[in-house]
A and B are shown apart, each in its own frame.
Chain A
Amino acid sequence: MLVSFLTAAIQAGTPLLFATLGETITEKSGNLNLGVEGMMLMGAVFGFQIGLSTSNPVLALVGAVVAASLGALIFAFLTVTLRANQTVTGLVLSIFGSGVAGFIGQKLAGKVLPNVVKNFFKPVKVPLLADVPYVGQILFNQDLLVYLGYIVIILSGIYLYHTRKGLNLRVTGENPAAADAAGINVSLYKYLHILIGGALCGLGGAYLSLVYVPAWQENITAGRGWIAVALVIFATWNPYKVLLGSYFFGGLDIIGFRLQKFNIRLSQYILDMLPYVVTILVLIAISLRRSKDNAPPKGLGEPYFREER
């Protein structure tokens, strides 16, 4: 009962995990990209299209990553090179992405992925680990992308907190002028991490269309990109908390269906609101505590002009 709930929560949280981690990395470079929803949709539609036409699951994922990164590239060019307003550019990217996905996806509704692709994304047991009681069933009897989720979280954690380059990235986000003075190529760091962020958002979208549902439906993300933007705050820009937060939100998403039989008199509409209520509470908590660990990157949302140093 609890095992099946937690197993399902991890699956429901996985698209959020990729998108939230992507946005976290983007924001670490000091750029706020609100185009997550659009990039997820681009990843979802291109991943599905390529999976359908090539029958190659790996190519499908690569396609999703490339498509979403191209979306992120537009954002990077506008906000880093041209220093356009990040909020507006992100919003435009979001609308643009859903337009592109709608256009490409017109002919995809009702199409069925080839079995090769479907089988590739079936749950796979991790030898030994899957036999651990309870935990094994929950964590290690999942599909490949869930495992990839664990891996990218750990890699990002190591990268951000235990490598020179990760430190450079954090400096770029906190204080680009100081980073520049220290000889860090600010634009390069911003570009690179906006692209990586976009790629991860694309994976999040592709998880929905290729693994979770799997089918194409217009607007398949249905607002999950926006939840991811909120989740970044919930996770206080920390990749490990991104993992916990994503699975927690995934659990909140599905708990309503599972509480019904216990006859708890709690409206499902209240449950639908919970993720957002929790995010508001976290925002309040962050601004009250003012702890350095939980603060957003100081340079977030500010374009960097070398001349103003």
Chain B
Amino acid sequence: MSKKVISSVVALVMMLSLVLAGCGGSQAPAAKTEGTSTDKAPAASTNAKTDVKVGFIYVGPANDGGWSQAHDEGRKYLEEKLGVKTLYRENVPEGPECEKAITDLIDQGCNVIFTTSYGFMDPTEKVAKQYPNVKFFHCSGNKMAENMSNYFGKINEPRYLSGIVAGMKTKANKIGYVAAYETPEVISGINAFTLGVQSVNPNAKVIVKWTHTWIDAAKEKDAAIAALDEGCDVLAQHNDSPAPQIAAEQRGVWAIGYDIYNPQAAPKAYMTAPVFRWGPYYVEQVKAIMDGTWKASSYLGTMKDGVVDLGPLTSVAPEGAKEKVEAVKSKMLDGSFNVFSGPIKDQSGAVKVEAGKALTDQDVLSMMWFVQGVEGKIESK
């Protein structure tokens, strides 16, 4: 009998420590629930200049070396430029738990909320209805409300530029691309990259390896090794871990990162990376809220806005790449260059985009076909 009691106590302790470990992941202390009515946000006036406190919700750890870290760097930039207070919660699962995380932040006085993963879209919309005085921003989705904006970046522009670097570097004319899921976002990224590769090296092929996961570093490594064994001498990725870069370095070949510029994991292989820089957008939006001029909007940041960019080229990048990249980049900046302007052929060689025409943003957001030069299949078609 007493042993049963002891065993349940021990089990309870284990569960509790688990909960504690989970809480440890967030910088914000536990929510104070007493006395906060659900439909009123504290400090909600929009014209008072100082009364802004900004909360961020991340899907991964704030220092994941990729997607969430890019947002966290934006948060720090915001703190530095405007001197506003910020809070964040990391490792928030997509789904209903996100709602709780948002209301937690609001209870702690946040009146501006950024939710930074696609799966946070519906929870954000729901909470936005309950708190009309709080301003919401959701990244990478398409829902909007009077107090909810959505925003994303045209990462395909720097992806094209990184393709130029890869196309100039490869000697085998085979470039491996470790990719997560067959979604339009990933597919259009592969296409933009391939168009960049072929603009400087029409003979080079891009070999796609699907991992069907965002988070499995070992699987990304498996995929990278498979590409390397097929003779690829440059790797690119749309997966969040640095495993493909490490794999490239171990074989003495080269890699292109993603999300943030971080050559640290594989300094001998890393050439550059298409990156997000959310800071300036965050500053602009929060400033508008402080000034009382803010309106909800749907925003797709470009290279011109500085939201997306190609990281600096490292010393292992090919000679002459910098000039090539700068030339195209300057055209992107003045708006005279569209990544998806014709003529573009698909894998079968049929012309999909005629010369003189270009895909619209909407076309790109629903892209489910590969351009010529990509070796790989889209299964979910």
What is A's interface to B at a CB cutoff of 8 Å?
A: 1, 4-5, 8, 12, 15, 74, 77-78, 81-84, 88-89, 92-93, 95-96, 99-100, 102-103, 106-107, 109-110, 112, 208, 212-215, 217-220, 222, 224, 253-254, 257-258, 260-261, 267-269, 272
**Does B210 sit at the interface, judged by CB under 8 A?**
yes
Inter-chain contacts of B22 with A (CB < 8 A): 99, 102-103
Inter-chain contacts of A82 with B (CB < 8 A): 3-4, 6-7, 10
Say yes or no: A217 contacts B18, CB within 8 Å: no
Question: Knowing A82-B6, A102-B91 touch, does A215 contact B217 (C-beta < 8 A)?
Answer: yes
Besides A8-B225, A74-B10, A100-B21, 6 other A-B contacts (C-beta < 8 A): A8-B229, A78-B11, A82-B10, A257-B226, A261-B375, A269-B379
Interface size of B by CB at 8 A reads: 52
Inter-chain contacts of A78 with B (CB < 8 A): 7, 10-11
Say yes or no: B241 contacts A268, CB within 8 Å: no
Say yes or no: B216 contacts A222, CB within 8 Å: yes
**Does B213 sit at the interface, judged by CB under 8 A?**
yes
A-B contact pairs, 15 of them (CB 8 A): A12-B218, A92-B11, A102-B21, A103-B24, A110-B242, A112-B264, A213-B218, A213-B241, A218-B91, A218-B215, A219-B215, A253-B219, A253-B222, A254-B225, A260-B377
Say yes or no: B262 contacts A110, CB within 8 Å: yes
Say yes or no: B246 contacts A213, CB within 8 Å: yes
Question: Knowing A109-B63, A110-B64, A254-B222 touch, does A260 contact B209 (C-beta < 8 A)?
Answer: yes
Inter-chain contacts of B222 with A (CB < 8 A): 8, 12, 253-254, 257
**CA gap between A258 and B265 in the complex, in Å:** 26
Inter-chain contacts of B215 with A (CB < 8 A): 217-219, 222
A215's contact among B3, B14, B246, by CB below 8 Å, is which?
Answer: B246
**CA gap between A84 and B7 in the complex, in Å:** 7
Distance from B102 Cβ to chain A, minimum over Cβ atoms (Å)? 21
Distance from B190 Cβ to chain A, minimum over Cβ atoms (Å)? 14
**CA gap between A93 and B10 in the complex, in Å:** 11
Inter-chain contacts of B17 with A (CB < 8 A): 96, 99-100
| CB-CB nearest in chain B for A208 | B218
**Does B187 sit at the interface, judged by CB under 8 A?**
no
Say yes or no: B209 contacts A267, CB within 8 Å: no
Distance from A118 Cβ to chain B, minimum over Cβ atoms (Å)? 9
Distance from A248 Cβ to chain B, minimum over Cβ atoms (Å)? 15
**CA gap between A220 and B242 in the complex, in Å:** 13
**CA gap between A92 and B18 in the complex, in Å:** 10
| CB-CB nearest in chain A for B267 | A112
Question: Knowing A8-B222, A103-B21 touch, does A77 contact B209 (C-beta < 8 A)?
Answer: no
Inter-chain contacts of A224 with B (CB < 8 A): 218
**CA gap between A77 and B377 in the complex, in Å:** 51
**Does B60 sit at the interface, judged by CB under 8 A?**
yes
Say yes or no: B61 contacts A106, CB within 8 Å: yes
**Does B186 sit at the interface, judged by CB under 8 A?**
no
Say yes or no: B212 contacts A272, CB within 8 Å: yes
Give the top 6 A-B pairs by smallest Cβ distance, nearest first: A257-B226, A103-B21, A110-B65, A99-B18, A99-B21, A82-B7
Question: Knowing A109-B61, A213-B217, A257-B223 touch, does A92 contact B377 (C-beta < 8 A)?
Answer: no
Say yes or no: A257 contacts B241, CB within 8 Å: no
**CA gap between A100 and B61 in the complex, in Å:** 15
Distance from B13 Cβ to chain A, minimum over Cβ atoms (Å)? 10
**Does B69 sit at the interface, judged by CB under 8 A?**
yes
**CA gap between A260 and B176 in the complex, in Å:** 13
Question: Knowing A92-B14, A92-B15 touch, does A110 contact B69 (C-beta < 8 A)?
Answer: yes
Distance from A250 Cβ to chain B, minimum over Cβ atoms (Å)? 9
Inter-chain contacts of A212 with B (CB < 8 A): 218, 221
Inter-chain contacts of B319 with A (CB < 8 A): none
| CB-CB nearest in chain B for A88 | B11
**CA gap between A138 and B375 in the complex, in Å:** 28
Distance from A158 Cβ to chain B, minimum over Cβ atoms (Å)? 30
Inter-chain contacts of A257 with B (CB < 8 A): 209, 222-223, 226-227
Inter-chain contacts of B218 with A (CB < 8 A): 12, 15, 208, 212-213, 220, 222, 224
| CB-CB nearest in chain B for A102 | B21
**Does B343 sit at the interface, judged by CB under 8 A?**
no
Inter-chain contacts of B10 with A (CB < 8 A): 74, 77-78, 82
Inter-chain contacts of A261 with B (CB < 8 A): 207, 230, 375
| CB-CB nearest in chain A for B209 | A257
**CA gap between A21 and B264 in the complex, in Å:** 35
**Does B25 sit at the interface, judged by CB under 8 A?**
yes
Say yes or no: B63 contacts A107, CB within 8 Å: yes
**Per-position binary interface string of chain B over residues 60-84, scored 1 when its CB falls under 8 Å from any chain A CB and 0 otherwise:** 1101110001000000000000000
Inter-chain contacts of A1 with B (CB < 8 A): 229
**CA gap between A220 and B64 in the complex, in Å:** 13
